[in-house]
Structure 1
């Protein structure tokens, strides 16, 4: 599906931004992976507050993108990640952390 993780990050970002109602400042995906099952909570912020303004549901293709990302960043010794935290900012910057 993707040739590298960057393509996957871009696709995730597009899916998330098209699902969020502007103006948003931050979107955070907390995903867990168990086998081929992906569970995700997607929070969004619309200001400089500590608490999210709400949650996004039904983000197109998000579960598939998370699984593909796990495949692309797979660790030879540890295998697929168990958790992924994808933090997207409205200026286009993002941060990703994995737990194995």
Structure 2
């Protein structure tokens, strides 16, 4: 999914008040973390992920792996927090961050 600058701006505004729902440590992307990421993206569509990894280069690699493995789009990276988006086929209006 390709995002225009205006759409990215809208998503960043929505994501500003969100708290990270998944934390990835130095163990990296395990099967459990991937399952949780996919569940959160299916429910919420727009989520923050905290990367508890000290090295900047390693964080960038993990962030790109998260985007590739979950088939999502990277909206924003600030320090150790990434904001990713994947639109659901049938979003739940009570859970979706995009519809609220």
TM-score by length of 1: 0.23
Higher RCO (C-alpha under 8 Å, 6+ residues apart): 2
Greater share of residues in helix:
2
